[in-house]
Structure 1
Amino acid sequence: MRAASEITKLDLPADAASLLEDQSLAERTFVMWDIIHDRTHMRGDLPFDPFMIKQRMPFFLYSLEELRCDLTAFRESVKIQRGFDARLAAGEELTAVEEQMRSTGKLVQYAVIFDRIFRFAITGSRVRNYDGLGGQLLFAWLHRKHVLEWRDVELSFDWEKVPDAVVELGDAIDQLYWESIDRPKTVHWLKAYELVSSVVTPNPASAWAEGLPREVLAGPPKGYTDLVMDDEFPLSMFYEALEKKMKPVIESTVGITASDA
């Protein structure tokens, strides 16, 4: 995160910067995020086995599921923070535990955004990298909502508008899930692709982007998955440049544990 902010000339808010200096604070933040994330796999309008065990599906379905759980953690953290902020504004005093929940709720929001767009998007290979695609999707969504800007070779966020924009993406995925309970599996796949490709540009050689042949549409699900490219959604020019500069930093962290940090 420190390297990414320096490379992109991102001016970190003071509370976000605190995550870089305090390991225990970072650990507590990620624990809160992860507890909500893992629980979410079994909650909500799920049109499939929440852990998708032994199911062969296009990798972008896994992207949406992991991102759905992250954005649920984000949404719940916004609720927690805003709820306590409202109490403070009304003149109430918070207990030490409540204040910790309030401050950690805000940090979870930073963690989800920065880990997703700076680490997930450019780690691993480009072969069906569903976590990478989730990071790309979040970045592109925020850019299209004009709450993230890359201008004059500098990255900036409109932090006042970020929470609602992120929650809006989570709502779009939740709506897809809710509608897909009444749909055949392959139609759910097509609608999921429609959502992702409306934000992240597909590979120009993509059969899915062009429109699957009628014989594939009328055939078994295997035909659908066989035509998904390994890198169905290539990196944007922004990420191609960022990946080259971040690669040594990312590789240097391999094998590091909390006790090493």
Structure 2
Amino acid sequence: MPKRTHTSLKAFVLTLFLYSSAILAAVWQFDSLTYSEKTPNVREVPINISMYQTPTPVKPVKAVEPPKPKPAEPVEETVTEPEPIAEIPKPEPIAKPKPAKQPKPEPKKVVKKEVPKVVKKPVEKPKQTAKKAPTQPVKKVAKAATPKVVEPQPVEKTITEQPAPPTYSASQIADAEDRYLSELSRTLAQLAQDSYPRRAKRRHWEGEVVLKFVLYRNGDIKQLQIVDGDRRTVLNDAAVGIIKDKMGMRFKPFYKEIERNQWHLTVPVNFSLN
């Protein structure tokens, strides 16, 4: 019994070995086929010993410099001087022929003819109807003589005495000046409202501009300037425009009680929406 078991075991091992070898051979063949399909065709390159030898060093080629061009010799310009022009001799002045002297004619002898004498009859003078005005002898114009200097005689000037201007008391003068300044202030206030800038009205801008000028007796205004202006230029321009454009640089003349000839004034121009 044990001998038979041993024989069957050998047969089993041998069979297993054969099957395994067959399977391995099939697998190996399959792998070789797939590998041959995947590998590309490799081209054989011939190998030569000269490929492994170090190349002989090539001697560097020296660059041959081209010969430097010789500096060109300066060409001397031969200037041919123009031949001097022969002076043309001036023509000699032609002598004018002297007029031949003509012989003077001999004076002819005048034969006096005898003229018969004429007997003059006495002519009766006509009666003078009117007396002729005696002719004044013509005076010869003498050469211009030096004019005599006439001394101016003093002219008596008649000076008409003007009446002395009436004198006013200090209270009358002060009252007239106050009334004049009050009227000027009212005029400026009214013109400030009439010429209020639209831009300032829309934005509710208010301000005061102080002006300085000289007012003369006839009402002329000169030397206008801004003493203290507003931070908004539109109000400053409007204040100056009142004096220049609206008033025309002129106000009413001074009252008769105001004795001064010019007045330096500093007045405020208020722009208020109330």
TM-score by length of 2: 0.17
Higher relative contact order (CA 8 A, sep 6+): 1
Q: Greater share of helix residues, 1 or 2?
A: 1
Q: Greater share of strand residues, 1 or 2?
A: 2
